[in-house]
Amino acid sequence: MHQSSVRAALTTGVAALALAGCSLTGGDPSEPTTSASDGAGGTTGGTVVLATHESFTLPKKLVRQFEQESGYTLEVRAAGDAGTLATKLSLTADNPIADAAFGIDNTFASRPLGEGAFAELSPSTAPPEEYALADGGDRLVPIDSASVCVNVDTAWFEAEGLEPPQTLDDLTDPAYAGLLVTPGASTSSPGMAFFLATVAEHGDDWPDYWTDLLANDAKVVDGWEDAYYGDFTAGSENGTRPIVVSYDSSPAFTVTDGRTTTAALLDTCFRQVEYAGVLAGADNPDGAEALIDWMLSDEVQSALPESMYVFPVMPGATVPDDWAEFAPQPTDPYEVTPDEIAANREQWLTEWTDVVSR
Amino acid sequence: MRSGAVRRIAALLLLAAGPVLVLGVLFVLPVTGMVAEGFVADGRFAPGAVLDVLARPRVHRVAWFTVWTSGVATLLSVVLGLPAAYALHRLALPGRAAVRAALLVPFVLPTVVVGVAFRQLLGEGGPLGSLGLDGTPVAIICGLVFFNVAVVVRTVGVAWESLDPRPGQAAAALGASPWQVLRTVTLPALRPAIVGAASIVFLFCATAFGIVLTLGGVRHATVETEIYLLTTTVFDLRAAAALSVLQIVVVVGLLALAARLRAVPDPTAHRTVTPVRAVRRPDAPVVLATLAVLAAMLVPILTLVLGSLRVGGEWGLGNYRALSGTGDNQALLAPVTSALATSLRTAVDATWMALLVGVLVATIVTRRSHSLAERRVRSTLDGFFMLPLGVSAVTLGFGFLITLDQPPLDLRDSPLLVPMAQALVALPLVVRTLTPVLGGIDDRQRQAAASLGASPWRTLLTVDLPVTWKPMLAASGFAFAASLGEFGATSFLARDDSPTLPVVIFRLLGHPGAMNYGMALAASVVLAVATAVVMLAVERLRVPGVGAF
């Protein structure tokens, strides 16, 4: 009895170790591709590391093309949200985690800039002036933009025979009581953008506006996905609220039979611009500059909408037909400068949390 | 005598050096580094400012909310978990292996997905919407219990399984009622396991993140969500450090209390492998309670499955078919099949790491102490290895970046960092599952084996292994599931080219698109099924001969 148990235990143990060993060494399918392209490139050589947030993705074909043409091997380290990325870069300013970074937006730009995380750079193609940062424009280059706008379920409003709202102030109208759902400013990036729009509109009186909004039975939830897929009538079968805070591009995703059933209210938008930069003290600054030039190329810019749900900043880029037809961009979005955001964020969020938890 | 005690402690510390070093590098160093960021202002050590933060009324509110919701959720998990632990581990219920495997499913489901599933039920338009629970502490507690009942069932069930039934039978023969047997014989013998399970559940609840945010809305903050907010959104590292320190102090206090409660007068109660027995009429309440718990757990899962079968307002398998590619608009970073493979591979690594260290730790902390000092050392070590569960993943994650960045410890780009982080989370589960059983082995059995000429290795195989074999399987299944479902550390560290399944699901949920939500649900169902299958396979592993021991 004991003999057999010993043998069986040993067999199982060896099998388990073999399985684990197999996983440790040969497991990672990503490794071979990286090392393979390492050999294929070869002219200038070297790896360029990009730190970014979890939403980053670009077509593999374009990445291969970049590696072949430039001779660099691209290694992407994408993890966490935009706030996490900004904190990571700020904390590691003296020993950067990558060569380049992408995904710092205008609400978080001043933090890593203030910590000296970015080096100066001069891209070979200059992006339009309208997206440039007033402070730090020499270190961060705009790559894409996405505006956070109030969206309405136009099909719902048609069925109810009700005119949809147009402006931020309309949302406090009793006619729209109990119809709005928004992600929270403290927990969600679009939630923060919507909050900043209300700050831009009402200045220091924003707490009064938010009090009215909540008195009108607006619902504040954790994240965008809760609002859109949990409460929005056009996003969930169980949804009960036809007004949601989402993006200007969202109507392009509710197209059925050649027309969209939702609309973005273009007078309620706050524009988020995402930037890229070369990290100070990078191992491969030339590779980082080449990478950023590539991100400004028409091919990558045109791939942005389908890959990352954002609009390109370069005028030469094209957007998908659905986007061109159903997702117009705001012409005059609300603005709050990065410095103002940085200076007030903590106090605003504290006050905002007090207002919504009353 | 005295020098003997010192020698024993020295030997103990030597044995513990490996695991302590691992935890020191992967846990103590990063957390200390991150907390230190908050204590240093303008290059000077300034603890006063940090302590000022602790006086803020908001900090008090957040801390109290964390403690009471976690406390209630822990209590409920234990009360609901105990009957199920008994029924599923001691009674010959039909299909109990499948049910035990299924019970681990909530454990691996991504919190975002469960959160949305709960909100489909509790939300304004959901079937339970009239209860008005959406966004309340009750909803948060329900979610926490849903995730943690499995911990109680598994940890206590394993101990119950190896509990010698004879003292209970003797008591019954002497005229004790079933209730008296339970109260005076069974529960005291199970106390180490119950307290151990409860402390794990409490730590899980107190550091829960996604579920609190999704179900509680923005109105309710816990220490963990507050640390996240302060670190990433507000960048107030001072306040975050203050909360981390508060968290560590409370957790250490709690662990000390748990260690006292776990201590039983006679830990060497006999451990055997007890065969399950047939269900009898008096078992009806237990079986019914178990079925009720199962039904309650099933509802959110069913919501999920039904949701995954809805495509554009109709029933269909479209969401599942879409999983094989990268979806419309490249919504998926990788096909679900390859993400699942990555998840499984990472989980295998995390499991053997956790098991390797966990078995060592469990052995060290359960060997009989010969002096008070020795017992103290063992119990301190025991608590030390529980710490990772109670400390903020945010603090740990950022700590990795700023402390493990120089050779020879330049680990921050290592592909092993993800399994290592997951193993850190799984380690306490392994230790807590094994210690009640290992602690129950009478040292005299080992001495007897040795005096009959058995080598230490042989003693281990003939005395320890037969009793610990099944708990070890249970522990590895547990570690595997914890690793499969782990999201916090993984999403923070995961590399883009090989995302795990939870990371893929999270990304699907993060974007608009006709099918993204359905695909996220379908991918969650795939993850759940994969987990259940692996668990079933693990449960079926048997060593011939040992079962009949």
Q: Of the candidates A2, A8, A91, which has its C-beta nearest B401's C-beta? A: A91
User: Which has more confidence, A358 or A357?
Assistant: A357
Instruction: Give A2's pLDDT tier (boundaries 50, 70, 90).
Output: very low
Which chain A residues are Cβ-neighbours of B349 within 8 angstroms?
20, 23-24, 27
Instruction: Give A15's pLDDT tier (boundaries 50, 70, 90).
Output: very low
Of the CATH numbers 3.40.190.80, 3.40.190.10, 1.10.238.10, 3.40.440.10, which one belongs to the domain with range A147-270+329-357?
3.40.190.10
Of the CATH numbers 3.10.105.10, 2.30.60.10, 3.30.2270.10, 3.40.190.10, which one belongs to the domain with range A39-145+272-326?
3.40.190.10
> Is-contact A342 A110, C-beta < 8 A?
yes
pLDDT reported for residue B546? 37
Nearest to B207 by CA among B413, B31, B50, B1: B31
- CATH number for the domain that contains residue B120: 1.10.3720.10
Asked whether residue B513 is assigned to any structural domain, the reply reads yes
Nearest CA to CA, how far is B446 from chain A (Å)?
A: 16
pLDDT in tens, chain B (549 residues): 567 778 888 888 888 888 899 899 989 999 999 999 888 877 778 888 888 888 888 889 899 999 999 999 999 999 999 999 999 988 888 888 888 878 878 877 777 778 777 877 887 777 787 887 877 899 899 999 998 998 899 889 888 887 888 888 899 899 988 888 888 888 888 888 899 899 989 998 998 887 887 787 777 888 988 898 888 888 888 889 999 999 999 889 988 888 888 776 555 455 566 677 888 888 888 899 999 998 888 888 888 888 888 887 788 888 888 887 665 555 566 777 788 888 888 899 999 999 999 988 988 888 777 788 888 888 888 888 888 888 888 888 888 888 888 877 777 777 788 888 889 888 988 888 888 778 777 778 888 888 888 888 888 788 888 777 878 888 888 888 888 877 777 777 766 567 788 888 877 777 666 677 788 888 888 888 888 887 777 767 644 333 322
Which chain A residues are Cβ-neighbours of B548 within 8 angstroms?
1
Report yes or no: B238 at the A interface, CB cutoff 8 Å: no
Asked whether residue B281 is assigned to any structural domain, the reply reads no
**Which pair of tokens denotes residue B457?**
């290795």
> Is-contact B246 B54, C-beta < 8 A?
yes
pLDDT reported for residue B513? 67
Contact A24 B349 (CB under 8 A): yes
Sign of torsion over alpha carbons B304, B86, B279, B178 = negative
Least confident of A12-26, A226-240, A337-351, B402-416: A12-26
Report yes or no: A122 at the B interface, CB cutoff 8 Å: no
d(CA B15, CA B364): 7
CB contacts < 8 A, A to B, total 208
Asked whether residue B282 is assigned to any structural domain, the reply reads no
Which chain A residues are Cβ-neighbours of B421 within 8 angstroms?
none
Location of structure tokens 């024993």: B8
Location of structure tokens 């894409």: A144
Instruction: Give A23's pLDDT tier (boundaries 50, 70, 90).
Output: low
Asked whether residue B504 is assigned to any structural domain, the reply reads yes
- Beta strand B44-45 with B40-41 is antiparallel
pLDDT reported for residue A17? 43
Which chain A residues are Cβ-neighbours of B333 within 8 angstroms?
57
pLDDT reported for residue B265? 56
**Residue count of chain B:** 549
Asked whether residue B515 is assigned to any structural domain, the reply reads yes
> Is-contact A107 A288, C-beta < 8 A?
no
**Which pair of tokens denotes residue B509?**
């949920």
Contact B497 A30 (CB under 8 A): yes
> Is-contact B319 B305, C-beta < 8 A?
no
If DSSP codes are grouped into helix, strand and coil, which group holds residue B162?
coil
Helical segments of B162-186, H only: 166-173, 178-181
Report yes or no: B453 at the A interface, CB cutoff 8 Å: no
Report yes or no: B518 at the A interface, CB cutoff 8 Å: no
Instruction: Tell the burial category of B236 from Cβ atoms under 10 Å away from its Cβ (0-12, 13-18, 19+).
Output: middle
Mean pLDDT over all residues of chain A?
85
**Which pair of tokens denotes residue B25?**
């590098």
Choose the mutation target among A84, A110, A188 for the interface with B, i.e. most B CBs under 10 Å: A84
Q: What angle, rounded to 10 degrees, do the helices at A189-202 and A206-215 form?
A: 120
Q: Domain containing B529: what range?
A: 2-267+317-540
Instruction: Tell the burial category of B73 from Cβ atoms under 10 Å away from its Cβ (0-12, 13-18, 19+).
Output: buried
> Taking 50 as the threshold, does the pLDDT of residue A323 lie above it?
yes
Task: Give the single-character DSSP code of B163.
Answer: B
Report yes or no: B548 at the A interface, CB cutoff 8 Å: yes
**Which pair of tokens denotes residue B148?**
């943690």
* Partner B, chain A 241-260, Cβ-Cβ below 8 Å: 241, 246-247, 249-250, 253-254
Report yes or no: B310 at the A interface, CB cutoff 8 Å: yes
DSSP of B57-79: HHHHHHHHHHHHHHHHHHHHHHH
d(CA A140, CA A271): 17
**Closest Cα in chain A to B493:** A79
**Which pair of tokens denotes residue B14?**
């030597």
Q: Which residues face B416 on adjacent strands? A: none
Instruction: Give A42's pLDDT tier (boundaries 50, 70, 90).
Output: very low
pLDDT, one tens digit per residue, over A131-170 is 988 888 899 999 999 999 999 999 999 999 999 999 999 9
**For chain A, domain boundaries:** 39-145+272-326, 147-270+329-357
pLDDT reported for residue A319? 92
* Partner B, chain A 157-176, Cβ-Cβ below 8 Å: none
**Closest Cα in chain B to A190:** B510
**Which pair of tokens denotes residue B298?**
């099933």
Nearest to B545 by CA among A7, A10, A9, A2: A2
Contact B217 A95 (CB under 8 A): no
- Overall number of domains in chain B: 1
Q: Of the candidates B213, B348, B413, which has its C-beta nearest A222's C-beta? A: B213
Nearest to B207 by CA among B261, B144, B287, B295: B144
Above 0.85 for ipTM, yes or no?
Answer: no
Instruction: Tell the burial category of B58 from Cβ atoms under 10 Å away from its Cβ (0-12, 13-18, 19+).
Output: middle
Report yes or no: A6 at the B interface, CB cutoff 8 Å: yes
Report yes or no: A231 at the B interface, CB cutoff 8 Å: yes
Q: Which residues face A357 on adjacent strands? A: none
Nearest CA to CA, how far is A29 from chain B (Å)?
A: 8
Q: Of the candidates B217, B329, B491, which has its C-beta nearest A306's C-beta? A: B329
Contact B58 A57 (CB under 8 A): no
Report yes or no: A347 at the B interface, CB cutoff 8 Å: no
d(CA B411, CA A271): 37
Q: What angle, rounded to 10 degrees, do the helices at B336-366 and B417-439 form?
A: 40
Q: What's the mean pLDDT in A184-203?
A: 92
HEC assignment per residue over chain A: CHHHHHHHHHHHHHHHHHHHHHHHHHCCCHHHHHHHHHHHHCCCCCEEEEEECCCCCCCHHHHHHHHHHHCCEEEEEECCCHHHHHHHHHHCCCCCCCCEEEEEECCCCHHHHHCCCEECCCCCCCCCHHHCCCCCCCCCEEEEEEEEEEEEEHHHHHHHCCCCCCCCHHHHCHHHCCCEEEECCCCCHHHHHHHHHHHHHHHHHHHHHHHHHHHCCCEEECCHHHHHHHHECCCCCCCCECEEEEECCHHHHCEECCEECEEECHHHCEEEEEEEEEECCCCCHHHHHHHHHHHCCHHHHHHHHHHHCCEECCCCCCCCHHHHHHCCCCCCCECCCHHHHHHHHHHHHHHHHHHHHC
Within this chain, domains A39-145+272-326 and A147-270+329-357 share the same CATH topology: yes
Degrees (nearest 5) of the Cα angle A273, A276, A282? 160
